[in-house]
Amino acid sequence: MGRHQGMADAGRDEISQMVLGAWDGFIAQAEALDLTRDSRLPGWRAHEICVHLGCWEDHQALRDLVASARSGGPGTPPDPDAVNARVTAAHRSASREEVLAALRRNREATARYLAEEPVELDTAPAVSVVGRIPLLSVVLGQAYELAVHWLDLVSCGAEPPPADVLQSGLAALTDVTGALAADTGISGRVTLATPDGGWGFTADASGWQVRRVPAGTVDGPAVEGAADLLLEAASGRVNPVPAVARRKLKVHDVGGLLQLAPIVQKVPGIPGGPILQLAARTMGGAGGVLGRLFGRG
Protein backbone atom coordinates (compact mmCIF):
# COMPACT_ATOMS: atom_id res chain seq x y z
CA MET A 1 0.00 0.00 0.00
CA GLY A 2 1.29 3.46 -0.89
CA ARG A 3 1.80 6.31 1.49
CA HIS A 4 -1.38 8.05 2.63
CA GLN A 5 -1.54 11.72 1.64
CA GLY A 6 -4.62 13.09 3.32
CA MET A 7 -7.23 14.81 1.20
CA ALA A 8 -5.11 14.24 -1.89
CA ASP A 9 -6.24 10.61 -1.60
CA ALA A 10 -9.85 11.77 -2.05
CA GLY A 11 -9.15 12.94 -5.58
CA ARG A 12 -10.02 15.98 -7.61
CA ASP A 13 -13.79 15.67 -7.74
CA GLU A 14 -14.25 16.22 -4.01
CA ILE A 15 -11.55 18.89 -3.84
CA SER A 16 -13.08 20.72 -6.82
CA GLN A 17 -16.48 20.95 -5.16
CA MET A 18 -14.99 22.34 -1.97
CA VAL A 19 -12.59 24.85 -3.48
CA LEU A 20 -14.59 26.12 -6.44
CA GLY A 21 -17.73 26.38 -4.32
CA ALA A 22 -15.82 28.55 -1.85
CA TRP A 23 -14.50 30.70 -4.71
CA ASP A 24 -17.95 31.20 -6.21
CA GLY A 25 -19.46 32.24 -2.90
CA PHE A 26 -16.59 34.56 -1.99
CA ILE A 27 -16.60 36.30 -5.38
CA ALA A 28 -20.37 36.82 -5.19
CA GLN A 29 -19.92 38.54 -1.83
CA ALA A 30 -17.04 40.69 -3.09
CA GLU A 31 -19.12 41.82 -6.08
CA ALA A 32 -21.80 43.12 -3.71
CA LEU A 33 -19.46 45.00 -1.35
CA ASP A 34 -18.02 48.48 -1.15
CA LEU A 35 -14.36 47.46 -1.32
CA THR A 36 -13.23 50.72 0.27
CA ARG A 37 -14.75 49.76 3.63
CA ASP A 38 -12.33 49.04 6.45
CA SER A 39 -12.18 45.45 7.66
CA ARG A 40 -11.38 44.09 11.09
CA LEU A 41 -7.81 43.46 9.91
CA PRO A 42 -5.62 46.44 10.87
CA GLY A 43 -4.73 48.50 7.80
CA TRP A 44 -6.73 46.33 5.40
CA ARG A 45 -9.91 47.32 3.64
CA ALA A 46 -12.06 44.85 1.77
CA HIS A 47 -9.90 45.98 -1.17
CA GLU A 48 -6.68 44.61 0.35
CA ILE A 49 -8.34 41.33 1.31
CA CYS A 50 -9.47 40.80 -2.27
CA VAL A 51 -6.17 41.98 -3.77
CA HIS A 52 -4.38 39.44 -1.60
CA LEU A 53 -6.57 36.63 -2.96
CA GLY A 54 -6.31 37.72 -6.58
CA CYS A 55 -4.14 36.58 -9.46
CA TRP A 56 -1.98 39.41 -10.81
CA GLU A 57 0.74 39.66 -13.42
CA ASP A 58 3.30 39.99 -10.62
CA HIS A 59 1.63 37.50 -8.25
CA GLN A 60 0.48 34.14 -9.63
CA ALA A 61 0.68 31.85 -6.63
CA LEU A 62 -0.84 28.75 -8.23
CA ARG A 63 1.42 28.99 -11.27
CA ASP A 64 4.43 29.10 -8.96
CA LEU A 65 3.14 26.15 -6.92
CA VAL A 66 2.64 24.04 -10.04
CA ALA A 67 6.19 24.87 -11.12
CA SER A 68 7.43 23.88 -7.67
CA ALA A 69 5.62 20.54 -7.85
CA ARG A 70 6.95 19.85 -11.34
CA SER A 71 10.52 20.39 -10.14
CA GLY A 72 10.20 18.26 -7.01
CA GLY A 73 9.44 20.95 -4.44
CA PRO A 74 12.90 22.49 -3.92
CA GLY A 75 13.61 25.67 -2.00
CA THR A 76 12.31 27.25 1.17
CA PRO A 77 8.79 28.48 1.98
CA PRO A 78 8.12 32.14 1.15
CA ASP A 79 7.42 34.62 3.93
CA PRO A 80 3.64 35.19 3.71
CA ASP A 81 3.78 38.56 5.48
CA ALA A 82 6.37 39.87 3.03
CA VAL A 83 4.40 38.56 0.05
CA ASN A 84 1.17 40.10 1.35
CA ALA A 85 2.83 43.46 1.96
CA ARG A 86 4.35 43.51 -1.53
CA VAL A 87 1.17 42.53 -3.37
CA THR A 88 -1.21 44.80 -1.48
CA ALA A 89 1.16 47.77 -1.84
CA ALA A 90 1.61 47.16 -5.56
CA HIS A 91 -2.14 47.11 -6.20
CA ARG A 92 -3.38 49.56 -3.59
CA SER A 93 -4.72 51.85 -6.33
CA ALA A 94 -6.26 49.15 -8.51
CA SER A 95 -9.82 49.84 -9.59
CA ARG A 96 -12.76 47.87 -8.30
CA GLU A 97 -13.10 46.19 -11.71
CA GLU A 98 -9.42 45.20 -11.70
CA VAL A 99 -9.67 43.70 -8.21
CA LEU A 100 -12.75 41.66 -9.05
CA ALA A 101 -11.13 40.50 -12.30
CA ALA A 102 -8.07 39.34 -10.32
CA LEU A 103 -10.30 37.24 -8.07
CA ARG A 104 -11.97 35.66 -11.09
CA ARG A 105 -8.57 34.91 -12.66
CA ASN A 106 -7.46 33.03 -9.57
CA ARG A 107 -10.68 31.03 -9.52
CA GLU A 108 -10.24 30.26 -13.22
CA ALA A 109 -6.60 29.24 -12.72
CA THR A 110 -7.69 26.82 -10.00
CA ALA A 111 -10.46 25.35 -12.16
CA ARG A 112 -8.02 25.01 -15.06
CA TYR A 113 -5.50 23.15 -12.91
CA LEU A 114 -8.16 20.75 -11.64
CA ALA A 115 -9.48 20.10 -15.16
CA GLU A 116 -6.31 20.02 -17.24
CA GLU A 117 -3.08 19.33 -15.35
CA PRO A 118 -1.80 15.73 -15.03
CA VAL A 119 -3.27 13.97 -12.01
CA GLU A 120 0.22 12.84 -11.03
CA LEU A 121 0.95 16.41 -9.93
CA ASP A 122 -1.69 16.18 -7.20
CA THR A 123 0.53 14.20 -4.85
CA ALA A 124 3.80 15.85 -5.88
CA PRO A 125 5.33 17.98 -3.10
CA ALA A 126 5.14 21.73 -3.58
CA VAL A 127 6.75 24.41 -1.45
CA SER A 128 3.94 26.42 0.12
CA VAL A 129 3.97 29.01 2.89
CA VAL A 130 3.67 26.18 5.44
CA GLY A 131 6.29 23.86 3.93
CA ARG A 132 6.40 20.97 1.46
CA ILE A 133 2.99 19.36 1.13
CA PRO A 134 1.16 17.70 -1.79
CA LEU A 135 0.03 20.15 -4.44
CA LEU A 136 -3.62 19.11 -4.18
CA SER A 137 -3.51 19.83 -0.44
CA VAL A 138 -2.20 23.31 -1.25
CA VAL A 139 -5.04 23.80 -3.71
CA LEU A 140 -7.53 22.70 -1.04
CA GLY A 141 -5.86 25.18 1.29
CA GLN A 142 -7.57 27.90 -0.74
CA ALA A 143 -10.83 26.79 0.90
CA TYR A 144 -9.40 27.61 4.33
CA GLU A 145 -8.12 30.98 3.20
CA LEU A 146 -11.38 31.86 1.47
CA ALA A 147 -13.45 30.85 4.49
CA VAL A 148 -11.32 32.91 6.89
CA HIS A 149 -11.24 35.96 4.63
CA TRP A 150 -14.98 35.66 4.01
CA LEU A 151 -15.37 35.91 7.79
CA ASP A 152 -13.15 39.01 7.61
CA LEU A 153 -15.49 40.52 5.01
CA VAL A 154 -18.44 40.23 7.38
CA SER A 155 -17.01 43.31 9.10
CA CYS A 156 -17.36 45.06 5.71
CA GLY A 157 -21.01 44.13 5.27
CA ALA A 158 -20.76 40.66 3.71
CA GLU A 159 -23.18 37.89 4.59
CA PRO A 160 -21.65 35.20 6.84
CA PRO A 161 -20.22 32.21 4.96
CA PRO A 162 -22.57 29.22 4.71
CA ALA A 163 -21.98 25.94 6.52
CA ASP A 164 -20.53 24.14 3.50
CA VAL A 165 -17.83 26.79 3.01
CA LEU A 166 -16.93 26.67 6.71
CA GLN A 167 -16.72 22.87 6.58
CA SER A 168 -14.48 23.02 3.51
CA GLY A 169 -12.23 25.43 5.38
CA LEU A 170 -12.04 23.03 8.32
CA ALA A 171 -11.23 20.14 5.96
CA ALA A 172 -8.32 22.13 4.55
CA LEU A 173 -7.12 23.07 8.04
CA THR A 174 -7.28 19.44 9.14
CA ASP A 175 -5.45 18.27 6.04
CA VAL A 176 -2.52 20.68 6.29
CA THR A 177 -2.10 19.97 10.01
CA GLY A 178 -2.02 16.25 9.30
CA ALA A 179 0.50 16.79 6.51
CA LEU A 180 2.80 18.75 8.80
CA ALA A 181 2.43 16.17 11.58
CA ALA A 182 3.47 13.40 9.19
CA ASP A 183 6.34 15.48 7.82
CA THR A 184 7.56 16.16 11.37
CA GLY A 185 7.44 12.45 12.22
CA ILE A 186 4.60 12.82 14.72
CA SER A 187 2.11 10.01 15.25
CA GLY A 188 -1.20 11.26 16.55
CA ARG A 189 -4.75 12.25 15.76
CA VAL A 190 -6.96 15.29 16.18
CA THR A 191 -10.60 16.07 15.49
CA LEU A 192 -12.13 19.48 14.80
CA ALA A 193 -15.72 18.96 15.90
CA THR A 194 -18.72 21.24 15.28
CA PRO A 195 -22.46 20.86 15.84
CA ASP A 196 -22.76 20.12 12.10
CA GLY A 197 -20.01 17.50 12.08
CA GLY A 198 -16.33 18.01 11.49
CA TRP A 199 -13.03 16.62 10.31
CA GLY A 200 -10.21 14.63 11.82
CA PHE A 201 -6.83 13.26 10.84
CA THR A 202 -4.58 10.42 11.91
CA ALA A 203 -0.84 10.69 11.21
CA ASP A 204 1.77 7.95 11.52
CA ALA A 205 4.69 6.45 9.64
CA SER A 206 2.43 5.64 6.67
CA GLY A 207 1.42 9.28 6.17
CA TRP A 208 -1.84 10.89 7.21
CA GLN A 209 -5.50 10.16 6.61
CA VAL A 210 -8.34 12.68 6.81
CA ARG A 211 -11.88 11.66 7.66
CA ARG A 212 -15.28 13.28 7.99
CA VAL A 213 -16.65 13.16 11.53
CA PRO A 214 -20.41 12.90 12.16
CA ALA A 215 -22.11 15.51 14.31
CA GLY A 216 -21.86 14.76 18.01
CA THR A 217 -18.74 12.60 17.64
CA VAL A 218 -15.77 13.53 19.83
CA ASP A 219 -13.20 10.77 20.25
CA GLY A 220 -9.68 11.38 21.49
CA PRO A 221 -7.80 14.68 21.11
CA ALA A 222 -10.25 17.26 19.78
CA VAL A 223 -11.22 20.89 19.69
CA GLU A 224 -14.97 21.41 19.71
CA GLY A 225 -16.92 24.54 18.86
CA ALA A 226 -18.84 26.36 16.17
CA ALA A 227 -17.19 26.09 12.76
CA ASP A 228 -16.67 29.83 12.38
CA LEU A 229 -15.12 30.09 15.85
CA LEU A 230 -12.74 27.19 15.16
CA LEU A 231 -11.54 28.92 11.99
CA GLU A 232 -11.18 32.28 13.71
CA ALA A 233 -9.24 30.74 16.60
CA ALA A 234 -7.03 28.75 14.23
CA SER A 235 -6.23 31.84 12.16
CA GLY A 236 -5.50 34.02 15.17
CA ARG A 237 -8.53 36.24 14.54
CA VAL A 238 -9.77 35.58 18.07
CA ASN A 239 -7.95 34.62 21.26
CA PRO A 240 -8.98 31.04 22.10
CA VAL A 241 -8.41 31.47 25.85
CA PRO A 242 -11.55 33.55 26.57
CA ALA A 243 -13.53 31.27 24.26
CA VAL A 244 -12.46 28.29 26.38
CA ALA A 245 -13.28 30.18 29.58
CA ARG A 246 -16.80 30.81 28.27
CA ARG A 247 -17.06 27.18 27.11
CA LYS A 248 -17.57 28.27 23.51
CA LEU A 249 -14.49 26.19 22.70
CA LYS A 250 -13.93 22.85 24.38
CA VAL A 251 -10.62 21.03 24.27
CA HIS A 252 -10.63 17.26 24.79
CA ASP A 253 -7.54 15.19 25.69
CA VAL A 254 -5.16 18.12 25.94
CA GLY A 255 -2.20 15.77 26.36
CA GLY A 256 -2.94 14.14 23.02
CA LEU A 257 -3.27 17.53 21.36
CA LEU A 258 0.02 18.60 22.90
CA GLN A 259 1.81 15.88 20.93
CA LEU A 260 1.38 18.14 17.90
CA ALA A 261 3.04 21.16 19.53
CA PRO A 262 6.40 20.55 17.76
CA ILE A 263 4.67 21.51 14.50
CA VAL A 264 4.34 25.08 15.78
CA GLN A 265 8.06 25.21 16.55
CA LYS A 266 8.86 24.05 13.01
CA VAL A 267 6.31 26.29 11.25
CA PRO A 268 5.39 29.10 13.69
CA GLY A 269 2.76 30.68 11.46
CA ILE A 270 0.78 27.59 10.55
CA PRO A 271 -3.01 27.64 10.52
CA GLY A 272 -4.15 26.16 13.81
CA GLY A 273 -1.02 27.29 15.63
CA PRO A 274 -2.89 29.36 18.24
CA ILE A 275 -4.90 26.30 19.29
CA LEU A 276 -1.78 24.14 19.63
CA GLN A 277 -0.04 26.89 21.59
CA LEU A 278 -3.06 27.06 23.86
CA ALA A 279 -2.68 23.35 24.60
CA ALA A 280 0.99 23.85 25.42
CA ARG A 281 0.23 26.68 27.84
CA THR A 282 -2.51 24.63 29.45
CA MET A 283 -0.23 21.67 30.12
CA GLY A 284 2.50 23.99 31.34
CA GLY A 285 0.22 25.28 34.07
CA ALA A 286 -2.04 22.34 34.78
CA GLY A 287 -2.87 23.61 38.25
CA GLY A 288 -3.94 27.02 37.01
CA VAL A 289 -7.21 28.39 35.77
CA LEU A 290 -6.97 26.86 32.30
CA GLY A 291 -6.06 23.50 33.73
CA ARG A 292 -9.21 23.56 35.86
CA LEU A 293 -11.30 24.71 32.91
CA PHE A 294 -10.11 21.92 30.66
CA GLY A 295 -10.10 19.18 33.26
CA ARG A 296 -10.15 15.93 31.34
CA GLY A 297 -11.93 17.46 28.35
256-to-69, 166, 207, 252, 295 alpha-carbon distances in Å: 33, 25, 18, 8, 13
Residue 285 pLDDT grade (very low, low, confident, very high; cuts 50, 70, 90): very low
**Which tens digits make up the pLDDT trace of 151-207?**
999 999 999 999 999 999 999 999 998 998 898 899 999 999 999 999 999 999 999
Domains of the chain, CATH where assigned: 4-161 (1.20.120.450), 171-294 (3.30.1050.10)
64 CB-near residues (< 8 Å, 6+ apart): none
Listed residue (155, 187, 170) closest to 263, CA to CA: 187
SS (H, E, C) 145-188: HHHHHHHHHHCCCCCCCCHHHHHHHHHHHHHHHHHHHHHHCCCE
291 vs 85, more confident: 85
Answer yes or no: are the C-beta atoms of 256 and 181 closer than 8 Å: no
* Percentage of residues in the chain having pLDDT higher than 70: 88
